[in-house]
């Protein structure tokens, strides 16, 4: 519909023990996810695509980071699920919100874990000589 405009899409998944965790289906699913992450490290992968049909631009990249969780008690999991925060987050937690209390450390890009690797995205634009002002309609 808008071949002259830049369009960006992105999504994030959590991977633990080879299993991809998207958003929980319900509270029981969130509890299961959080218990599986407790006391372990996991990967967070955020992928993005930038398209401009008129300029024949299609860029797809991903950024992977490692997050290390402390051991989480059942009481903490219950409290967190009752907050409602995990229900729309990959892996059932948001590192930028209340879920941050579960994180011991990260190796990688905090913003990619949050959901969009802005620094990586801007570097990609710079490498392709796409001026940031071109993106005003995103």
- The answer to whether position 1 is within a domain reads no
Q: What is the pLDDT at residue 133?
A: 82
DSSP the chain: --TTS-EEEEEEEEEETTEEE-S-SSHHHHHHHHHHHTTSEEEEEEEEEEEETTTTEEEEEEEEEEEEEPP--HHHHHHHHHHTGGGGSGGG--TTTGGGGGEEEEES-HHHHHT--HHHHHHHHHHTT--GGGGTT-
Catalytic residue numbers, as ranges? 11
- The answer to whether position 2 is within a domain reads no
- The answer to whether position 28 is within a domain reads yes
What span, in angstroms and rounded, lies between the C-alpha atoms of 38 and 33?
Answer: 9
- The answer to whether position 92 is within a domain reads yes
What is the block-wise mean pLDDT of the chain (138 residues), using blocks of 10 residues?
89 96 97 98 97 92 98 98 96 96 97 94 89 71
**55, 52, 63, 79: which is closest to 10 by C-alpha?**
63
Q: pTM (2 decimals)? A: 0.89
Residue carrying structure tokens 């631009």:
57
State the CATH number of the domain containing residue 112: 3.90.950.10
What span, in angstroms and rounded, lies between the C-alpha atoms of 105 and 44?
Answer: 13
What span, in angstroms and rounded, lies between the C-alpha atoms of 94 and 115?
Answer: 9
- The answer to whether position 73 is within a domain reads yes
- The answer to whether position 138 is within a domain reads no
- The answer to whether position 34 is within a domain reads yes
**In contact, 37 and 16? CB cutoff 8 Å:** yes
What's the total number of domains in the chain? 1
Q: What is the pLDDT at residue 137?
A: 58
- Domain of residue 101, residue span: 7-133
């Amino acid at each position: 519909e808008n071949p002259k405009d830049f369009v960006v899409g992105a999504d994030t998944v959590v991977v633990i023990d080879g299993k991809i965790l998207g958003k929980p289906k319900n509270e029981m699913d969130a509890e299961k996810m959080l218990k599986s992450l407790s006391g372990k490290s996991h990967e967070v992968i955020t992928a993005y695509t930038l398209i401009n049909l008129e300029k024949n631009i299609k860029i797809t990249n991903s950024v992977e980071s490692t997050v290390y969780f402390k051991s989480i008690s059942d009481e903490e999991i219950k409290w967190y699920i009752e907050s409602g925060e995990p229900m729309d987050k990959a892996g059932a937690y948001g590192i930028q919100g209340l879920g941050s209390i579960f994180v011991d450390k990260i190796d990688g890009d905090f913003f990619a874990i949050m959901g969009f690797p802005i620094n990586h995205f801007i570097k990609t634009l710079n490498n392709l000589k796409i001026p940031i002002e071109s993106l005003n309609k995103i």
